[in-house]
Structure 1
Amino acid sequence: MGTTDSSITGWYKSSYSGGDQGECLEVARDNPDVPVRDSKTTTGPTLIFSAHGWTAFVTAVKEGHIEP
C-alpha cells in the first residue's frame, strides 16, 4: 500500500547506507507495520509493509535471492 501520510514519525537510515549518495531507504520505527520511503524524496510516497513481509524481503536480499 502506498501513502503520503505525514503523520508517520521515527524515520531512520541504516548506518550501512553509505552516507548521502541518494540511494537510501528510510524505515520508520515504532509502527505496527513497516513504513518505507526514498530518503531523497521524503514528502513522496511511502510504502507500507507488514512486519512479516518486510522481514521476508530483507532475508531474501541478505541471502542473495533478490539483488539490491
Structure 2
Amino acid sequence: MTKGLRLDLSRAQWLTSTRSAANGDNRVEVAFVDEAIAVRDSENPAGPALIFTAAEWDAFVGGAKDGEFDL
C-alpha cells in the first residue's frame, strides 16, 4: 500500500466485487481514481479506504489469479 498517497474519493465510482456475497460479511468495493486504486468495505462506505498504485494492484490481482491467497 502506498504511504502518504491521498486521493479525493468524493466522486469515485465504486464497483462491487462480483465475488462478494449479497448477504455476506465479505463485501468490498473498488474504485479506479487518478492512476490509483481504492478499496473499501461496502458495509462501511464512510470508513477508510486502502489506496494502491497500479503496480501494487497488478501484483495483487496476479497473485489472486495464481492462487497465492487460497486457503
Query: Does the pair score TM above 0.5?
Result: yes
Question: 1:24 and 2:27 equivalent?
Answer: yes
Question: 1:37 and 2:50 equivalent?
Answer: no
2:60 matched residue in structure 1: 57
Aligned residues: 68
Q: Is the CA contact (8 Å cut-off) linking 1:34 and 1:54 kept in structure 2?
A: yes
CA 6–50 in structure 1, closer or farther in 2 if over 3 Å, else same: closer
Identity of aligned residues (%): 36
Q: Distance in 1 between matches of 2:23 and 2:29?
A: 12
Gap regions ≥5 residues in structure 1: none
Higher relative contact order (CA 8 A, sep 6+): 1
TM-score for both structures, normalised by structure 1: 0.76
| Counterpart AA for 1:46 | A
Q: Distance in 1 between matches of 2:32 and 2:23?
A: 20
Q: Deviation above 6 Å: which 4+ runs of structure 1?
A: none
CA 57–10 in structure 1, closer or farther in 2 if over 3 Å, else same: same
